[in-house]
Structure 1
Amino acid sequence: MTAERQDKSTGKIAIITGGSRGIGRNTVLCLARRGVRSIFTYNSNQAEADKVIALAAEAGAGAIALKLDTGKSASFPAFVDAVRSALESMGADHFDYLVNNAGTSSTATLANGTEEELDAQFSVHFKGVFLLTQALLPLINDGGRIVNISSGLARVAMNGRAIYGPMKAAVETLSRYMALELGPRRIAVNVVAPGAIATDFSGGVVRDNPAVNKMVADHTALGRAGTPDDVGPVIAGLLSDEFGWVNAQRIEVAGGMQI
């Protein structure tokens, strides 16, 4: 790292789950451009995680990748130990920002949704967010900030999202309770709810299927599907001091989809 990049560092550190791809990756890089170092997680693709580390360094801040499946809460104590070690390597013992971004897709309906899929979605989208945040609370600085990622599908019902949408709605309610309980520590908690974003999420359906992409564009006031570049800067902004008095809010980043 050059002296110029070292000077750019704010001293702030973020933890982002699911930071090797899509919105999480974009968030890591947006924060790096602001001089914020990151500890981010990846589930299986270490090669992609390594690319993010290199891109973050080019953007001006260091990043460390840790493997984690947020649907397996039994692994959280070991993950917290790994975070402690990562922080130590950064010359710190606490971090400032948490972005609960990692998620998995579901196209289940009320008619065909299984108990197994319901449990899997619950483990990642609600239980994982709750218990991982809880486990990391001793390490987050007072005055820190948390952003939980929801979805436009918590507001708008669509076919094939009968499990996924309600799970994200639960995260939004949880976020308000987090904001209330963490208020005495001056930790603000907000929600970012992306609309349909062109990534590899859900099999890349918005990015790779022209018919779906057009359908999204036709139902969006600004006339196109979203990209990670539309969402990452909003998350990074919400973590900044400029948004310090924004708390317990849901911000939909969807270009005016289905308004």
Structure 2
Amino acid sequence: MSTTTKTALITGGSRGLGKNMAIAIAKKGINVVITYNSNKEAADAVVAEIISLGQKAVAFQLDTSNTSLFDNFIKEATAYLQTETGSNHFDFLINNAGTALYSPVTDITEEQMDAIYNIHYKGVFFLTQKALPFINDGGGIINISSGLTRLTYPGSSVYASMKTAVESLTRYFAKELGTRKIRVNVIAPGAIETDFGGGRTRDNKDINAHIAGITSLGRVGLPDDIGGVVAFLCTDDAYWINGQRIEVSGGQGI
């Protein structure tokens, strides 16, 4: 294992799965940069927890659906890294930020589709593109998909389609970045108890019970079920995993 402290950049790291990923990664001895959309207080709390673990951490505000913000964000983040670590490069990019959309195909508007496209596909593509010059060779990129690319539930057509696109994109990134030894994988969580989508999986007892009933391990997922897998992919032990879709769902719907 390298003795040089590495750095991970996680979008949407102030709450839910992103928060759990950030803390789990910090526990691996990796410094963390997170982004948040609007809740600075929550982001600062995550930063404080990571610092208490002995790692460097910082939070930047970023709307990952707005590509016009990316150049300035990269400048800010790399300037911070140069000052704090002596290098403007980092090692891992985790494209986690996202929003939910539950709507039947008969009701979806162009505005809704554009919003989901911008945050779940276009934003992922171009933030990765902008970050690539600053990702160290031998580093890694982890995209976040969903179990809904395998399981089909009414109301998730647009969201699941964008996540399917990200899964395909992941393989292409892995192929094209292989010469730099940058590995690229996609994590597909099953249903998780967070505030995502208004907390419906967590708070709706009928939905929660249904998912638990079709999951082999007998319960709905928790954030702790996901963060450790993402953190593992940021270690040398996971170096030979590349171009893979890894579903982390407890055996939901198998």
TM-score (norm 1): 0.95
- The structure 2 residue matched to 1:160, chosen from 155, 164, 169, is 155
Runs of 4+ in 1 over 3 A off after TM superposition: none
Once the two structures are TM-superposed, the CA of residue 108 in structure 1 deviates from its matched residue by 2.1
Counterpart in the other structure of 1:218? 213
Counterpart in the other structure of 1:106? 101
Please provide the CA RMSD for this pair.
0.9
Counterpart in the other structure of 2:126? 131
Counterpart in the other structure of 1:246? 241
Aligned-partner Cα distance in 2 for 1:58–1:247 = 32
- The structure 1 residue matched to 2:24, chosen from 20, 27, 30, is 30
Within 5 Å, which residues of 2 pair with 1:1-259?
10-91=4-85, 92-259=87-254
Once the two structures are TM-superposed, the CA of residue 10 in structure 1 deviates from its matched residue by 4.9
Q: Which amino acid aligns with 2:67?
A: S
What secondary structure sits across from 2:139 in the alignment?
strand
Aligned-partner Cα distance in 2 for 1:152–1:109 = 18
Once the two structures are TM-superposed, the CA of residue 60 in structure 1 deviates from its matched residue by 2.5
Aligned-partner Cα distance in 1 for 2:32–2:83 = 12
Q: Which amino acid aligns with 1:78?
A: N
Deviations 1:202-254 (A, max 9, x none): 00011111111111101100000001100000001011100101100000000
Q: Which amino acid aligns with 1:40?
A: I
Aligned-partner Cα distance in 2 for 1:38–1:116 = 33
Answer whether contact 1:109 1:163 (CA < 8 A) is retained.
no
Deviations 1:7-45 (A, max 9, x none): xx8510000000000111011101111110011100000
What secondary structure sits across from 1:212 in the alignment?
helix
Answer whether contact 1:10 1:35 (CA < 8 A) is retained.
no
What secondary structure sits across from 1:97 in the alignment?
strand
Q: Which runs of 5+ in 2 are unaligned?
A: none
Answer whether contact 1:10 1:36 (CA < 8 A) is retained.
no
Deviations 1:144-198 (A, max 9, x none): 1010000000111101101101110000000000001100100000000000000
Q: Which runs of 5+ in 1 are unaligned?
A: 1-8
Q: Report how many residues are paired.
A: 251
